[in-house]
Structures are given as C-alpha cells and as structure tokens.
Structure 1
Amino acid sequence: MSWTHHPHSRRRALTTATGLIAATAVPMTTAPGATASSRAAEAQGPSAAAASYTNPVVWQDFADIDIIRVGDTYYYSASTMHYSPGAPILRSYDLVNWEFAGHSVPVLDFGAKYDLNGARGYVRGIWASSLAYRPSNRTFYWLGQIDFAKTYIYTATAVEGPWSRLTTIDNAYYDAGLLVDSDDTLYVAYGNTTISVAQLSADGRTQVRTQQVFSTPSSIGTLEGSRFYKINGNYYIFLPRPANGQYILKSTSGPFGPYTLRQVLLDLRGPVSGGGVPHQGGLVQTANGAWHYMAFVDAYPGGRIPVLAPITWTSDGWPTIQLVGGAWGASYPSPAVPAPPRQVTPLIGVDTFDGTTLKPKWEWNHNPDNSKWSVNNGLTLQTATVTGDLYWARNTLTHRIQGPTSTATIQLDYSAMRDGDRAGLALLRDSSAWIGLKRDGGTTRVVMVNGLTMDTNWNTTGTGTEAASAAVSGGRIWLRATADIRPGAARPGTFSYSTDGTTFTRLGPSFTMGNDWRFFMGYRYALFNYATQALGGSVRVARFELSTP
C-alpha cells in the first residue's frame, strides 16, 4: 500500500496474464486443450472436481493479504489502518470458508493520534504487514512498520492471543514480508520500488544486516507489498504493482539474490463485476501440494476483497495463474483438503454481546477509552468525547459491511441519554451518514443525518446535516442501515427505524456512498454515542444483526 497508489479506476486492455512464482514438488501434467477448471481439478485430485467455490471468497474488506498454512489450518492477515485492535486474523480449513480468530496488534500504542487525543490517525496505522509461523518455537510472528518510522514485531503461541510486542526495530520495513527460512533464520523483504532484504537475529529482536536486492525499472513504475517465500530451494519475492499488476522476483542463489523479475499479471480481468484487477496477495500450498493465490480486488465502496485462484508452476520454477476464459475465474474447483474439524463461525448473523468481551469481528475507530464501554450480555457505550464531529468521537465501534448488499440492525436502549447526546448507527468512511437519536431539552428524536465529510488530508469538512426526523418515546428503538456496495453501481445506503422491532419506517433520503480509493478502507457499519454538551450519558446495544437478502 502506498501514498502513490495508482487509481484503481484505471482500466487498460488485457495485455498479459501469465507468470507467477514457482515450483511445486509434484510436476503438473495436463492434457492438451484442457480448460483451466479441469487443470485445477486434476491438480487437486478427483475428489475436488464435484465441488466448486465462487469469487470473492469473502465479500468483506480484507486487504494486503498475507496467508499461511499451519498443519491443516489456514490463517489470513490483513490491513486495518486506524482501526483498533489492528491486523485481524481469519482462520479457515478449506481456503474458502473463513472466520474471525483474533488480532495481532491488541492496541495501536504508537502515539496519541491513535487515541483521537489532539490528533487523528485516519489512513495511518496498520498498513501492509506480514504474518508468519515459526515451527522451531511454535510461535506466530506479526511484523509491520508504523508511520514510516519503526517496525514492530508481535508474537503469540495461538492466533487468538494473547499477542505481545517482541521488539521494536529502528528501520521502517515498508510493506514487508517475513520469511522463516528452512534453517530457522528470519528474513524480511520490504520497500517501495527499491526492494531490500534484511536478516534478523536468531531471537528476532534486532537487524543483523540489510541489503538492496532490486530496483524497479521505470517502465514498470511502483512495486511494493512484498511477500517472501522459499520454495524448492529458490527464494521468491512476490510484488504487486498497484493497482493492476503482480510481479515476482526469483533467486537461485540465496535470500540476498541476485534476483530475476517476471510479470505474473497485468490488467487481468477480475471476477467481480465493476471491480479492479486482482493483485497484492499471497501464495499458499495445501497439505497435498496444490498451490493457490489469494489476491484482492479494489471494490469500493466496500473496500478491497479477496479472490482465490489455483496456481501451477513452470518446469523452470515460475508460477502461473489458472485462468478461465482469459480472466481470473468467477469460480474454480474447491481445494482438495481434509474434512474440517468443525464448521467455521459465519461472518454474518446475530451478536447479542454475550459474555464480557467483544468478539474479534469488532474493531474500534481508533483506540477506545476502555473506561467508557463494557460488554455484559449487551454492549454499553458511555459518552467518551464532547464534540460536534463524529470523526473526533471516541468509542465508535465498527463492523465490516458484507457485500454485495447487506443490512445491519441494532436494538438500542436510549433511556440513559443526556441532553446534547448523539447515538446511533452510521455508514462510516470519509463521507458518512447515520440514523440515530438526538437528545435535546429533555426530548428525544430519531434523525437521519448526512453530509459528514473529510478532505484528502482526513480533516473534517462537514459535520453533518439533519435530513429527516421523527419524534420517539419509550426508551427503546431499532435502527437499521442497508448498504449496496456493488462496485460500479449506484452505491445507495438507506436508513430506517422501528419502535417494535417488526415494522420499520424509512427515514431520510438515500445516501450515495463514496468510492474514492484514497481512504483505502471500505465503508463500515458503526455504533456510536458521543456528547455535544457534557459526559455522563450512555446507551445500551442489546443486539446487532448483519443479514443479507
């Protein structure tokens, strides 16, 4: 990910779709004229031929993918920018069905701006980072740079946590890929256009050496987003060209090169209508030797969403995406994997905030004030900020939107609100709208507000305009937001409310969600409660439901 990220809207004619990184120990042989689907099925074995999956495998915002397998379990790490906790980890047993497992970065303790304390961290924080597993000590490692200043490494013996900071390195490994070599040495590939490799100490706490290994030709432009692999004795650095290409470096002489470059794809037609070119992902091998590439496509307003394709290798050790009709397939045969030990937890459904902790599907807008919220068979949000600007309000709790269309409904007890308080359910991004409650002069109204905006430096340019309202009473209300995040379409968000949980009344005009890529993160459903006069009020969310048509 880069500040020089190319606009995802750029479209060129399909020029090439070949290449990829290299080498499975099992030679791939296919009949002449075989289709991509049949080749993939053959590569994965006959048991896979009967079942298939469709892309995207997850229609939620999980960008800058790093994907690994430990035993028969797959783990997937992604960027979260200013959201906290950071660096979510998804888990799967088949590469297709995924669940939330945890977060590698428990809190963004990188400065007051991540607390919304005198400054803001929008579009900073957790960028493209790396997840790896080290068999020698049975430990997971997360590595990422923050604010172009330092690199942080966190470790855990289970992805659910607890995660703790292992070290801070005074070198910003930009868009890094962490490799645990077969001899247990730790290497990091990193950089933008100029690509370097660093070797870490045996304990992973310090840098032993670093060396530039590649300089991107000006004819290509930007390469970044390193993923580092050792496959059949060769070293590979997988490098996207944002937002329409993927390249690979290969060394037969060790991690410091020399490396040769090959194009994997450029302007390849993707499987999501209206979406961008698949790029910036990772390679993973199943237990039976089959390779797959998980990339993302720009699909705003929903964000960047993962798509999966099988990979084969050339005889000289380069990877090739298996295409369908000259494009990344809308579907492929399912990977041949062992029967899962259990069904994964769905990414949608009902959360009654049971227990006393938040589930890992939730992330705060910046770090929360932990003294102002609690979970105890329901979520209580006390006002944590006196402000007139939702973008400055602490303790706004967010959930990714499920595509292509979905609806979020909350049941809210507002009886403990105070005069000046604002609470509700937002569609949150750099252009936002919400439905919720305004309490003023002892009276509570349900309102729809739009016109919350930021500029490209992420400063607030609009704090919102009330577009519709209605009187309410009784202390309990259901609020609903529906989002259509199909890229290239109309992008409407609509709001409604109910006083009985059954009959919903539309409130306010349709809100057109923005699709500028520069905010990077997609829209989220967001639960908020802030004060405009004084702290002391609270609301209680008894139920959150995310549903699809």
Structure 2
Amino acid sequence: MSCPRHYWGRRRALTAAAGLASGAFLPLTAAARGIAAENPALAAADFTNPVVWQDFADIDVIRVGTTYYASASTMHYSPGAPVLRSYDLVNWEIAGHSVPSLDFGAKYDLNGGRGYVRGIWASSLAYRPSNRTFYWLGQIDFARTYIYTATAAEGPWSRHTTISTPYYDAGLLVDTDDTLYVAYGNSTISVAQLSPDGRTQVRSQQVFTTPSSVGTLEGSRFYKINGQYYIFLTRPANGQYILKSSSGPFGPYTMRQVLLDLRGPIPGGGVPHQGGLVQTQNGAWYYLAFVDAYPGGRVPALAPVTWTSDGWPVVQLVNGAWGASYPAPVVPTPPRQVTPMIGVDTFDGTTLKPRWEWNHNPDNTKWSVNNGLTLRTATVTNDLYWARNTLTHRIQGPTSTATVQLDHSTMRDGDRAGLALLRDSSAWIGLKRDGGATRLVMVDGLTMDGNWNTTGTGVERASATAPGGRVWLRATADIRPGAPRPATFSYSTDGVTFTRLGPAFSMGNDWRFFMGYRFALFNHATQALGGAVRVTRFELSTP
C-alpha cells in the first residue's frame, strides 16, 4: 500500500477533479479505510455536542480539500452569512462573511423601516472547482435571489448577480460536469438550472410535492452522491427527510424519513434538524445540524452518518438519541489551531474581527477601530431597537460572561451607552448622562411585539454613581433551555471587584425572533449627536 502522504495527495486530486467539495461525492475506498486504521495519528478522541454552543442556524457545510466550511443564517445582522472554518468538523472559527453589507434597502439601515427577522434566512454555500470560487446563494425578502462569490472563504466577497426568482431556502449544487443547480421551495420543491456563468436561470421545474401526512418540508440541501441526486429537507422543527433521484437532477424523486422527534444532545433543547451532509477525506459521512436551544438560539451538533445498501442515509444514534458525544472524525492533523470564539478582544489593528456583527447596517462614519473601538452616537432616539451602530457578539453556552472596559469621558447630555442582552426582550447595564452628570444604571423592559414593533423602551431598575471616565461593565447569561434563564449585570471601578446592579433578568425563549440573545455594545443619543465612548477591551469567558 502506498504511504498515507501519497494517498491523500491522490485523494485531493480526485476530490478537485470530481467536484467533491461542492456536493458531488465519491464512495469510500478500501484503501482509505485501511490507511485510517493503520495510522492512529489520523484519529482523535471523542467530541461532545453541541460542537459550537453559539447561535449558527440553517447550516450548509462543505469540504474543500482538507478544510471544512459552513454558512449560517443571520437575519438582520450585518455583515451577514458568516463563513465558519474547521479542519476536523469539531473545532470551528469564523473566517468571514459572505454578505459584507445588507444592501437590500433602507430598512436594513434603520432608515424609515426596520429589518428585524428579515434579511439572511437559510442560504447555501458551495465551491466550484473549475474556477476555484466559493458561491453563496440566498433570497432576500421573498423578492430576489442574490449570489455572492469569493476566491477565498475569508473574502473579499462581492455580489456576483441577482436572479428575479426568489429561491426560498435554497441549496446550490455544482454537478460533476460543472453545471449549477438549485433546489428550493416550501413543501412544493423545485429545481432550477443556472447558466454556465451563474447569472441567469435556464430552467426551473417542480420536482416534488410534500405529502399532507408529512406536513411542511423546506431548507433544501442538494447533493450528487455515487451518481444519484439527493435533496435533503427539514420538517421544522422536528424532522429531516431526503429525496433521491436516479434519473437526474429533475427527478422523479422518492422520499424517505431520516429522523423525526429524535431526542437531541442538549437537555431541554429541540430535535437536531436543518443542516447538511459532508464527507471527510477518508470517506466517512457526517450530518451537521442545529438544535433549537433558546434563549441562546440554534446551535450546531454533529453526528456520523452511514448509508444503506440501496443508498439512503442513516444517522448513527446513541441509546436511541442524537449522541451527546461520538468518536471524533478521523482526519489528518490540522495545520493549526482555529481561532477561539471566546476570549479577549482589545480591538487591535484597524478592523473588527469576524466574531462581531452589527444590528442592521452601521453608519460607517460613526465608528472606528484603532487599538480600541470608538462608538460615536449615530442616532437620536430613546429606543435601542432604532439605534444604529449597536455591535453584537454571540453568547457562548451554556453560561458565559461578557466584560467590557469602557471610557465614557466624551459622552454628552442625553447619551446612553453600555452593554446589553439584545433580543425582542432586552436589558442592559450602562451609563446615562443628563444635566452634566453621569450615572450607572441597569435597565430592562425593552420589548417588541410579534411584528417586531417596539412596545417598551426600557425601565430603569437600579442606579449608582458613575466613576471618573472609565468603568467596567459585566453581563452574565445562562442560556440553557428552560426556566429561569437568568442574566445578571454588574460593574467595577478597577476591573477586579464587581458590584451587582439591579435584579436578575429572565431571558425570553420564544422561537419566533429566530436569532438568540446576543451581547451588544451600544451608544446612542436622545438629544443630539456628537458624543462618543471608547471600548478598549472585551472579554467573553466561561466558568
């Protein structure tokens, strides 16, 4: 048998030639199985679920050579559609964003309208070996489909084209002959063929109607595996089904249930669903799904998949459930450690790290990074949900703490600045400056209704005298599903000793806002623009 190094070189060449990174796959060979068995260095210990306890939903996952990439929904947050990167399917980092700005209308700028629970819904990520290009495809506001491309996952990404057909919950397939296909729809599932340059639709055809006994199917992921076409579909929020065609991408398709009402790996959380299938370098298959785990959001979980002799996927269970742990995928030693999603950010350099996303598009004239983050007031409002330049960070589960060091010496009368737990029911700790005096306050009662209109702009629950020009603010969030989902706030004058401020805040766990709670840095005016705060340090830590 050839040495592993030479085998992996041949395997990568086959992968590129056959388009395996973008949804078309080859079977695992006996040689690959033998290499894995003979090389324990390629193996690893067990991993635990969720593999990422942060909010990354509607996952699409691919492999390009020895690297895995995933994309997720971000709704109204900007930049949108994060690209996650991994070398082992277990440890992930944020590489960049496929949608640099939500330039889909004024409401995404909080200008005359708001884009809450709009924007980036379930979308697709693919790689096209023929031009060595990544593709992101998604529909916005049920109106148009947008395609962005990049030659590297971290970007820069640019809009490639728009298509008048809104491909709802689409999955993009780069076939082995380089043809681009899109599977999409809700219950009525269609397949579209795109032009060779991906700029126009050549053909669209309905290929499947979901039986009434099943209900709703959506969230398409499109694959070609061993010459057969598969559309992977979710039944929200408790099932996963797959369609298979032996006659080409336009069918006909037959359906089989993959899972239904399966116990998930997070106590109190939901059924893993709406993710994607991916094949490792040595031919093993995995399903990366998400688990509804509010108030934290929808978090990724991983499970191995085997195939029946007649070509249907089977999720491997542990005691009749999606496993809380499994043996880690057998992969070559990663070239480096991925960047942790928690830890300290001192805003070094002049750009934000990809862990950060704004609530709607920011006013780029009102913020800057230069070895510290400066937030100038960008909106005059008494409603945080209308305030531009609120910068958000996902919460790490099951519990985590965000601590910020903030200089408030250049705030102006009427300004409000601080650290929030942001969702449709929000609370914050921070500073109010009025009449030349600055106070520390804890505020809750910021609320929206089911149409995402503001119903409460906040109630001050506690206050204290603000120290000098610098203060440390802290929020601790327990995002384990179930009651009481508490969050607490505290402050410090020296960064060492912290004093609790205000009552505990019970985070909401309704799914309809879709996105989970986030830590958020904000500074807005209630009287006039001109004030600013400077954040010199942010730390996300776990117990």
TM-score above 0.5: yes
1:27, 1:491 → 2: CA distance?
A: 48
| Partner in structure 2 of residue 100 of structure 1 | 94
| Partner in structure 2 of residue 363 of structure 1 | 357
1:279–1:26 Cα change, 3 Å: same
| Partner in structure 1 of residue 488 of structure 2 | 494
How far apart are 1:490 and its partner, in Å?
1.5
Q: Is the aligned partner of 1:407 residue 2:401? A: yes
| Partner in structure 2 of residue 25 of structure 1 | 27
Q: Is the aligned partner of 1:243 residue 2:237? A: yes
Q: Is the aligned partner of 1:318 residue 2:283? A: no
How far apart are 1:535 and its partner, in Å?
0.1
Matches within 5 A, 1:293-372: 293-372=287-366
User: Which of these residues, 248, 257, 260, is aligned with residue 254 of structure 1?
Assistant: 248
Q: Is the aligned partner of 1:538 residue 2:532? A: yes
| Partner in structure 2 of residue 8 of structure 1 | none
Q: Which amino acid aligns with 2:174?
A: V
Matches within 5 A, 1:320-469: 320-469=314-463
| Partner in structure 2 of residue 124 of structure 1 | 118
1:223–1:87 Cα change, 3 Å: same
1:432–1:43 Cα change, 3 Å: farther
Q: How many positions carry a matched residue from both structures?
A: 518
User: Which of these residues, 485, 510, 513, is aligned with residue 519 of structure 1?
Assistant: 513
2:408, 2:482 → 1: CA distance?
A: 38
| Partner in structure 1 of residue 138 of structure 2 | 144
1:412–1:57 Cα change, 3 Å: same
Contact kept? 1:63, 1:79, Cα under 8 Å:
yes
1:135–1:256 Cα change, 3 Å: same
Structure 2 gap ranges (5+): 1-22
| Partner in structure 2 of residue 12 of structure 1 | none
Deviations 1:335-380 (A, max 9, x none): 0001111110100000000000000000000000000000000000
Please state whether the residue corresponding to 1:113 is helix, strand or coil: helix
Q: Is the aligned partner of 1:485 residue 2:479? A: yes
Contact kept? 1:419, 1:440, Cα under 8 Å:
yes
Please state whether the residue corresponding to 2:494 is helix, strand or coil: coil
Contact kept? 1:22, 1:317, Cα under 8 Å:
no
Please state whether the residue corresponding to 1:110 is helix, strand or coil: coil
| Partner in structure 2 of residue 14 of structure 1 | none
Please state whether the residue corresponding to 1:243 is helix, strand or coil: coil
| Partner in structure 1 of residue 68 of structure 2 | 74
User: Which of these residues, 258, 267, 277, is aligned with residue 264 of structure 1?
Assistant: 258
| TM-score under structure 1 length normalisation | 0.93
RMSD of the TM alignment (CA)? Answer: 1.7
1:186, 1:447 → 2: CA distance?
A: 54
Q: Percent identity?
A: 85
Contact kept? 2:25, 2:279, Cα under 8 Å:
no
How far apart are 1:489 and its partner, in Å?
3.5
2:27, 2:531 → 1: CA distance?
A: 63
How far apart are 1:48 and its partner, in Å?
6.7
1:71, 1:534 → 2: CA distance?
A: 53
Deviations 1:299-342 (A, max 9, x none): 00000000000000001000001111011000000000011111
Contact kept? 2:42, 2:332, Cα under 8 Å:
no
Q: Which amino acid aligns with 1:514?
A: G
Please state whether the residue corresponding to 1:391 is helix, strand or coil: helix
Q: Which amino acid aligns with 2:50?
A: P
User: Which of these residues, 200, 205, 217, is aligned with residue 199 of structure 2?
Assistant: 205
1:503, 1:462 → 2: CA distance?
A: 32
Contact kept? 1:44, 1:290, Cα under 8 Å:
no
1:260, 1:210 → 2: CA distance?
A: 19
| Partner in structure 2 of residue 13 of structure 1 | none
Q: Which amino acid aligns with 1:174?
A: Y
Please state whether the residue corresponding to 2:58 is helix, strand or coil: coil
Q: Which amino acid aligns with 2:228?
A: N
Contact kept? 1:421, 1:537, Cα under 8 Å:
yes
Structure 1 gap ranges (5+): 1-20, 29-38
How far apart are 1:403 and its partner, in Å?
0.2
Please state whether the residue corresponding to 2:320 is helix, strand or coil: coil
Contact kept? 1:483, 1:493, Cα under 8 Å:
yes
2:539, 2:456 → 1: CA distance?
A: 29
Contact kept? 1:23, 1:318, Cα under 8 Å:
no
| Partner in structure 1 of residue 14 of structure 2 | none
2:26, 2:311 → 1: CA distance?
A: 8
Q: Which amino acid aligns with 1:407?
A: T
| TM-score under structure 2 length normalisation | 0.94
Q: Is the aligned partner of 1:135 residue 2:135? A: no
| Partner in structure 1 of residue 12 of structure 2 | none
1:410–1:233 Cα change, 3 Å: same
1:22, 1:241 → 2: CA distance?
A: 24
Contact kept? 1:22, 1:318, Cα under 8 Å:
no
Contact kept? 2:67, 2:86, Cα under 8 Å:
yes
Q: Which amino acid aligns with 2:353?
A: K
Contact kept? 1:233, 1:252, Cα under 8 Å:
yes
Q: Which amino acid aligns with 1:547?
A: S
Q: Which amino acid aligns with 1:146?
A: I
2:254, 2:416 → 1: CA distance?
A: 57
Q: Which amino acid aligns with 2:176?
A: S
